[in-house]
Amino acid sequence: METLKLMFKSNIREYGMVIALVSIVLFFEIVSKGVLLQPLNVTNLIQQNSYILVLAIGMLLVIVAFQIDLSVGSIAAFVGAVSAILMIDYHIGVVPGILISLLIGGLAGAFQGYWVAYFKIPGFIVTLAGMLIFRGLTMTALEGQSKAPFPEVFQKMSNGFIPDVLSGTSIHLTTLVVGIILTLVYIYFELSHRKAKLEYNFEVIPVRFLAAKLVFVGVAINWFMYLLASYKGIPNVLILLFILIVFYTFITTKTVIGRHIYALGGNEKAAKLSGVKTERIVFWVFVNMGVLAALSGLVFAARLNAATPKAGTGFELDAIAACFIGGASTAGGIGVVMGAIIGGLVMGVMNNGMSLIGVTIDMQQTIKGLVLLLAVAFDIYTKSKQS
Amino acid sequence: MDDVILEMIDITKTFPGVKALNHVNLQVQKGEIHALVGENGAGKSTLMKVLSGVYPHGTYTGDIHYQGKLCEFKNIKESEKLGIVIIHQELALIPYLSIEENIFLGNEQGKYGLIDWHATTMRTQKLLATVGLKELPSTLVTNIGVGKQQLVEIAKALSKEVELLILDEPTAALNEDDSDNLLKLLLEFKKQGISSIIISHKLNEISRIADSITVLRDGATIETLNVRSDHITEDRIIKGMVGRELTELYPKRDAAIGDIIFEVKNWNVYHHLHSDRKVIHNVNFHVKQGEVVGIAGLMGAGRTELAMSIFGRSYGQKISGQIYKNGSEVHLKNVSKAIEEGIAYVTEDRKQYGLILNNDIKRNITLANLKNIANHSVIDDNKEILVAEKSRQQMNIKCSSVLQNTGNLSGGNQQKVVLSKWIFTEPDVLILDEPTRGIDVGAKFEIYSIINKLAKDGKGIVLISSELPEVLGMCDRIYVMSEGSITGEIAGAEASQERIMKYVMSK
């Protein structure tokens, strides 16, 4: 029991976030009289927030490296515009179109990363400039007009669903099967993780708690899949998100480069004296952000089925807020990918929930602002208590 | 002259784990220049911080009598009100404000929050004339040299109607002319009845201007010498400063010294910001296998700059010179190259440069050698824990677990984590920069034992230390550095504190 208490205490950030998300979901589920968790609305929630979540993943790395990127909304818009010109005006295929777009995003990130990493200009300034530069380029490229429609395959990226190969009638069977497979994979990973720990004689959580955890997560996965299956199944964009989350969680927790990003953000001087190539890391973090901003821009353009000059306005602030609500430290060096995702979902659910119960857009902004402030205040308060 | 302006009685001040001041007494006469001398860490600055209220009443024990009254200062403001002004070693001027703005910062001339610029300028001109500084009051502080900045500090002190002026190493950063001016100014103040306390390592200056000298050592008053009535030589002062018995503070080691493992030749470095300021002048040194080589000297002698410029060019610019390892030349163009070549540098400032304080112990230990616990760049978490656990046991790091954040560890344990990190890189040469700074006696002994063990394993150790007993107790050979040059080399057996001090002061 003591160890459990300790584990809870040391992971209060992570648990706190999940508890906050669950409470917010429950709150809006009740006040919206059950509309929030209706299958259609859940699907909408995922599709509406996907592009912010993609940005939040990249932004998390930027914030962990003790930088900030204000240009992501503009880069997303710019890449959306370029992709429209390529696919609509020049009839370039969807796949090459996407690849070229991602490359352009990477170049935009490299451009900014160069000034930040090697010229030592604060990221705030460089990306503030980038925000203006790429917004201006978007307007110029689109000549102030929207461009539509995209090829249908491209739209499917954001609006489509995985096909039901098992051809269920009233319910999307494939989705249910995916849920079961995911559950099994999850159980396998937990068990093999535990086995490795036992081999090294490390402390592990007692079996009954592990069992409770497995049951809880398993039920959650399958219930969620059931919700999706009752509508049209798993949205394509959810698969994209899932791949990104898994990939970036792996990078941040398991690889040398991930460790270097955290070290750099925690104490740049010490990291440098330990052999971390700090400039190179900062540069690549911005390149990565550029690519993800491009991806976000594509997802948004596909969802809207149009490239517009005003696309992506304010995305950067939502992405930054998601990271901080999700427990990333304002001082750098602390933050997890899953946290940024949960932070983004907290904001998304609040947006959606408030709309459902008829809170005006104007008031929604205020409430979101307060939530951000409280989340960071809570974070700083628990940190000061720990030390 | 028997008019006592200040008497500090039985002052004791403890920091967690360290007794910085131990029943210290200090008596200053009215209108005298009183010098406070002692090694680094003897407690001089701490004593002055107690006096000026930086450490408020209640955080120390003992009494302060100033002008016959018992004083209990809660902050600097209160001591300044009574005319006690301290000028710190690091100047506290704001570079992008003008001279007049700096002088009256926090004491602005004017009413209702509005500044009376005429009064400010007039008073500044008067003050600048007093200290003999020919600059316009509107000149930015950043545009004048260090010597003149020191004068601005003194003018600022005068603006507060100072009666007791405390100067912490005022001439450390000054050239000879500027130092001379400053000392003359102090003598001038003395004529006007202003008393001063001066902390300095420059014994020639002290014997020139001081009326009496109080020697501190290890946080205790050793003696007060009267320069006017007795003839006091510099040797006499040094004897007071270092006259400590070497006790069994240092574990024994049978040195088995091999061939030269690491050698630096003709090493020159320029200041990292001012490309015309040379900070390291033509330094040559070497270390052999199994040897502990000391680099002694005062703070600011350029030892850290030397070490960091060698370690992957982490400091300075326009670096020139050669480095040889096992007889062949190596080019340590960045830190990872230096680590690859088996060089490790343990910083003097573990919080700023050594540790990621918001990361746990295991992540700190493995940071400099992640590839050792990774397969194809993928970190093996379990192996990492094993590595950290092994270090924890070997180094006796006291912690709840290796998952504890290093920010919550005591100084000694933090230092052990930093050492573990570098030992994990499997170095052949370790440069240890003040490895026992700010840690208690018990932990010091443990660190010394670790150093001895590393030497026994055939590694070359360079030990940079400002504590002479430590250098004498640990080293097989000692280099002395002063103002960026190596001024002497002494074999361990022939070394004494007096000899080292002579080289230190020889510049």
ipTM of the complex: 0.86
Q: Where are the beta strands (DSSP E) in B144-277?
A: 164-168, 195-199, 212-217, 220-226, 260-270
Region B234-255: mean pLDDT is 71
Higher pLDDT, B181 or B287: B287
What is chain A's mean pLDDT, rounded? 91
Considering the entire predicted model, what is its pTM? 0.81
What are the start-end ranges of the H helices in B318-360? 335-340
Distances (CA, A) of B132 to B129, B147, B148, B184, B192: 5, 12, 10, 11, 15
CA separation for the pair B374, B365 (Å, rounded):
14
| Inter-chain touch B358–A334, beta carbons under 8 Å | yes
| Preferred mutation among A3, A274, A329 to probe B, highest tally of B CBs within 10 A | A274
Q: How many helices (H) and strands (E) does chain A have?
A: 16, 0
Nearest to B124 by CA among B111, B114, B113, B109: B109
Higher pLDDT, B286 or B470: B286
| Inter-chain touch B403–A333, beta carbons under 8 Å | no
**B contacts of A270 (beta carbons < 8 Å):** 352-356
Query: For position B246, what pLDDT does the model report?
Result: 44
Burial track B88-119 (b if 16+ CB lie within 10 A, e otherwise):
beebebeeeebbbbbbbeeeebeeeeeeeeee
What is chain B's mean pLDDT, rounded? 87
Write phi, then psi, for A156 (nearest 5 degrees).
-60, -30
Pair of tokens at residue B491:
């074999």
Type of residue at B242: V
Distances (CA, A) of A104 to A75, A108, A162, A241, A294: 9, 6, 28, 21, 8
CA separation for the pair B476, B463 (Å, rounded):
10
In sequence order, the 6+-apart residues with CB closer than 8 A to the CB of B457 are none
Nearest chain B residue to A198 by CA distance is B382
CA separation for the pair A257, B365 (Å, rounded):
16
CA separation for the pair B358, A17 (Å, rounded):
20
DSSP state of A149: P
pLDDT in tens, A249-288: 999 999 999 999 999 999 999 999 999 999 999 999 999 9
pLDDT above 70 (res A322): yes
Band of pLDDT at residue A169, cut at 50, 70 and 90: confident
Would an 8 Å CB–CB cutoff place B410 in contact with chain A?
Answer: no
Q: How far apart are the first and last CA of chain A?
A: 23
Distance from CA of A274 to the nearest CA of B (A): 5
Higher pLDDT, A165 or B320: B320
What are the start-end ranges of the H helices in B244-367? 303-310, 335-340, 361-366
pLDDT above 80 (res B338): yes
| Inter-chain touch A270–B358, beta carbons under 8 Å | no
pLDDT in tens, B58-109: 888 889 998 888 888 888 888 888 889 888 877 778 888 999 999 998 888 8
For the purposes of burial, counting CB atoms within 10 Å of the CB of B393, is it exposed (0-12), middle (13-18) or buried (19 or more)?
Answer: exposed
Band of pLDDT at residue A121, cut at 50, 70 and 90: very high
**A contacts of B357 (beta carbons < 8 Å):** 266-267
pLDDT in tens, B6-16: 999 999 988 76
pLDDT above 70 (res A235): yes
pLDDT above 70 (res A387): no
Higher pLDDT, B160 or A116: A116
In sequence order, the 6+-apart residues with CB closer than 8 A to the CB of B435 are B346, B415, B419, B447, B451, B463, B465
pLDDT above 60 (res B127): yes
pLDDT above 60 (res B1): no
| Inter-chain touch B374–A269, beta carbons under 8 Å | no
What are residue B285's DSSP bridge partners? B264
Establish, for the pair of chains A and B, how many residue pairs have beta carbons separated by less than 8 Å: 82
Higher pLDDT, A111 or B498: A111
Band of pLDDT at residue A77, cut at 50, 70 and 90: very high
**A contacts of B421 (beta carbons < 8 Å):** 274
Band of pLDDT at residue A9, cut at 50, 70 and 90: low
CA separation for the pair B353, B314 (Å, rounded):
11
Region B306-332: mean pLDDT is 92
Write phi, then psi, for A46 (nearest 5 degrees).
-65, -45
In sequence order, the 6+-apart residues with CB closer than 8 A to the CB of A215 are none
CA separation for the pair B322, B332 (Å, rounded):
10
Write phi, then psi, for A42 (nearest 5 degrees).
-65, -45
pLDDT in tens, B390-422: 999 999 888 888 888 888 787 788 999 999 999
- What percent of chain B has a predicted confidence (pLDDT) above 70? 96
Asked if B431 and B294 count as a contact pair (C-beta separation under 8 A), the reply is no
Whether the CA torsion B488, B493, B494, B496 is positive or negative: it is positive
Query: For position B244, what pLDDT does the model report?
Result: 52
Query: For position B441, what pLDDT does the model report?
Result: 65
CA angle A88, A93, A94 (to 5 degrees): 85
Within 10 angstroms of residue A262's Cβ, the number of other Cβ atoms is 23
Region B158-176: mean pLDDT is 82
| Inter-chain touch A333–B368, beta carbons under 8 Å | no
Between strands B292-296 and B477-482, the pairing is parallel
Nearest Cβ partner of A387 from B381, B386, B408? B408
Nearest Cβ partner of B368 from A10, A267, A275? A275
Phi-psi region of B199 (alpha: psi -120 to 50; beta: other; left: phi over 0): beta
pLDDT in tens, A302-311: 999 999 999 9
Distance from CA of A108 to the nearest CA of B (A): 27
Cis previous bond, B469, omega within 30: no
CA atoms within 13 A on the CB side of B67: 9
pLDDT above 80 (res B42): no
